[in-house]
Amino acid sequence: MSSTQPQLWLRAEKKPLERRAALTPKTAKKLVDAGFKISVERDEQRIFDDAEYEKVGCELVENASWPSAPASVLIIGLKELPESNEPIKHTQIQFAHCYKRQAGWSKVLSRFARGNGTLYDLEFLTDAHGRRVAAFGYYAGFAGAAAGILAHTAQKQGQGQRLGALEPYENETAMIDSLKKSLGGSGKGTRALVIGALGRCGRGAVDLLRKVGLDENDILKWDMAETAKGGPFQEILDVDIFVNCIYLSSSIPPFITPETIKAAGSSRRLGVVVDVSCDTTNPYNPIPIYNINTTFPKPTVDVDLG
């Protein structure tokens, strides 16, 4: 970077329906005031308008133009880059999803090696006490539990019914009202289990379930103490919705398996598994009942019980 003015470049996100930004206009203003030059790629998908960045002193640049930026410029994003074989020459800040050997990890890291670039993975950003700074978000659990409610109510509409494409809501209030309506006005009678309930993600899931009207006794809140004995767990089969919000860092016994689901037969209450942690390609995945990621157009996948 220039010794006179450090520069950050906010790139546009390329995942479908990804509206979040790694840098908000409010934070951008603080950086500009501190002497940074901030370049922001134009992005119609981003939740913040381009004009909000321009208003606080950022430079607007073309969408996906970061590869042409000088090598000294630090590129900041949220999610992983689109697939490519091009070497990466820049320093990149992002969630790369590489260091737990997720699918394609070696290909991604090789791009940095070939281009002499540097990766700062937000997943491993910690404070002086070793605590993660950019940990699983509260709203990841909140939104995941909301999708679980929608999938549950779709099932209740009849045999073979599946949740259709997900669309964004105008705000949280509109979403809660819609979920309550789908539940018939209240979530009473619906039972859910959240594993990882003491973490940020888990707290978000629990709060969503409360807001849509589930009785407190019908929200089972598990964390490390409850899972210490090792799975599989019968309790998961005895609720309508299971929400997984753990941070996976090592091998653990599975929470649920196709065999335990099949063995439960007609006594099984479980209808929906929400895997917010989403370690689908991780060899330690504690929910080995599916092997493909869902999408906004197709947010659920059937469990194959053979």
Question: Domain residue spans in the chain?
Answer: 7-124, 138-275
Residue predicted with more confidence, 159 or 93: 93
Mean pLDDT, rounded, for 74-98: 95
Q: Which candidate in 97, 152, 211, 221 is catalytic?
A: 97
Would you state the pLDDT for residue 159? 61
Query: Are domains 7-124 and 138-275 of this chain identical in fold?
Result: yes
CATH code for the structural domain at 7-124: 3.40.50.720
Give this prediction's pTM. Answer: 0.74
Active site residue 97: yes
Task: Please determine, for residue 4, whether its predicted confidence score (pLDDT) is greater than 80.
Answer: no
Question: Looking at domain 138-275, which CATH architecture does it have?
Answer: 3-Layer(aba) Sandwich (3.40)
The pLDDT value recorded for residue 3 is: 55
Please tell me which residue in 14, 29, 79, 180 is annotated as part of the active site. 79
Q: Does position 1 have pLDDT exceeding 50, yes or no?
A: no
- Rounded to the nearest 5°, which phi and psi values hold at 243? -115, 120
Does residue 18 have a pLDDT over 70? Answer: yes
Mean model confidence pLDDT for the chain: 94
Q: Is the pLDDT of residue 254 over 80?
A: yes
Our answer to whether residue 298 is catalytic in this structure is no
